[in-house]
């Protein structure tokens, strides 16, 4: 089936996305959900604002999905990113990869989130509960180890 | 040539607008648009500010040659997820 590529403003419903794209032949479904974390570099995060170049973002999600479809033996793929104001604990990005077997599903899911973070034209701005100035995050955090001045952010994605 | 320039995130805050039309010479490249934007908004010319480009909704290098009517987006390194 065609990949499901969405930029949304409403909360992401993981179960609904899984139901929508999976079939009886899928013995494996790998899911990655990036959530808003309540802290960043010892500062308490209140919420995030996600801004996007929406027209390009949808096209970029489709390009990413097409590339992944050529590299992985998956039967279905969903790439969903939310924009707007998100509270701590809310899902900002969802990847669902389905396949007959686990390895392609897991590999596709892992690669998808890495590519999304490098290429999707989305930017987040962090707002803190300590009254400090909000700050833009520049560039993807490389992983949970955080990074330099622009690295790390208050999501696990 | 007329180029539609779009700004996003911190770049849009600095420009205080979502975008504008600018004139460039025939044969101009995406990087020429970036230079013009930096001339208009000096904060974007700071060495620690490294905006990226997209042309017609695809990531682009500064060396890409533009055509009349192209849409060029200028934005900070992405931070989705």
**Chain segment A142-154, per-residue pLDDT in tens:** 554 333 334 456 6
Name the band, by pLDDT with cuts 50, 70 and 90, for residue B11. Answer: very high
Q: Which domain holds residue B26?
A: 2-75
Dihedral sign of CA atoms B51, A57, A79, B10 in order: positive
Does the CB of A151 have a partner CB in chain B at under 8 Å? no
Domains in chain A: boundaries: 4-34+55-122
Domain membership flag for residue B43: yes
CA distance B40 to chain A (A): 22
Beta bridge partners of A31: A96
CA distance A119 to A57: 9
Residue B36 has pLDDT above 50, yes or no: yes
- Best probe of the A interface among B6, B57, B77, B80, by most A CBs < 10 A, is B80
Least confident of A88-102, A127-141, B20-34: A127-141
Indicate the number of domains in chain B.
1
Best CA proximity match to A76, nearest among A113, A128, A116, A27? A27
Which residues does A109 contact at the CB level (< 8 Å), separation at least 6? Answer: A30, A31, A32, A95, A96, A97
C-beta separation of A77 from A113 below 8 A:
no
Which residues does B13 contact at the CB level (< 8 Å), separation at least 6? Answer: none
Domain membership flag for residue B80: no
Nearest CA in chain A to B7: A53
B11: CATH: 3.10.20.30
C-beta separation of A33 from A17 below 8 A:
no
Give the count of beta carbons closer than 10 Å to the beta carbon of residue B13. 13
Domain membership flag for residue B67: yes
Contacts with A141 from chain B: Cβ below 8 Å: 79
Domain membership flag for residue B33: yes
Q: What is the pLDDT of residues B40-78, one digit of tens each?
A: 999 988 888 889 999 999 999 999 999 999 999 999 999
Q: What is the pLDDT of residues A83-133, one digit of tens each?
A: 999 999 999 999 999 999 999 999 999 999 999 999 999 999 999 999 899
Query: Which one of A53, A118, A136 has the shortest CB-CB distance to B10?
Result: A136
Q: What is the pLDDT, as a whole number, of residue A157?
A: 60
Q: What is the pLDDT, as a whole number, of residue A153?
A: 61
- ipTM comes to 0.95
Identify the helix (H) or strand (E) that includes residue A17.
helix A14-21
Does the CB of A82 have a partner CB in chain B at under 8 Å? no
Q: What is the pLDDT, as a whole number, of residue A50?
A: 98
| Assigned superfamily of A4-34+55-122 | Molybdopterin biosynthesis MoaE subunit (3.90.1170.40)
Domain membership flag for residue B34: yes
Nearest CA in chain A to B78: A139
């Amino acid at each position: 089936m065609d990949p499901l590529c969405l930029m949304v403003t409403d909360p992401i419903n993981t179960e609904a996305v899984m139901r929508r794209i999976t079939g009886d032949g899928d013995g494996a479904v790998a899911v990655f959900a990036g959530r808003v974390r309540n802290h960043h570099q010892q500062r308490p995060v209140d919420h995030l604002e996600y801004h996007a170049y929406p027209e390009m973002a949808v096209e970029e999600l489709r390009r990413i999905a097409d590339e992944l479809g050529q590299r992985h033996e998956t039967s279905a793929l969903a790439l969903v990113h939310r924009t707007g104001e998100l509270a701590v604990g809310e899902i900002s990005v969802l990847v669902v990869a389905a396949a007959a077997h686990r390895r392609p599903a897991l590999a596709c899911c892992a690669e998808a989130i890495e590519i999304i973070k490098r290429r999707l034209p989305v930017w987040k701005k962090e707002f803190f509960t300590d009254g400090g100035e909000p700050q833009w995050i520049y560039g993807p955090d490389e992983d949970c180890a955080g990074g330099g001045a622009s690295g790390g952010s208050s999501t696990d994605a | 040539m007329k180029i539609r320039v779009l700004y996003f995130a911190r770049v849009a805050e600095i420009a205080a607008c979502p975008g504008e039309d600018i004139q460039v010479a025939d044969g101009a490249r995406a990087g020429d648009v970036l230079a013009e934007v930096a001339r208009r908004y000096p904060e974007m010319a700071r060495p620690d500010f490294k905006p990226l480009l997209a042309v017609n909704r695809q990531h682009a290098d500064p060396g890409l040659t533009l055509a009349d009517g192209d849409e060029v987006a200028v934005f900070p390194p992405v931070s989705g997820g």
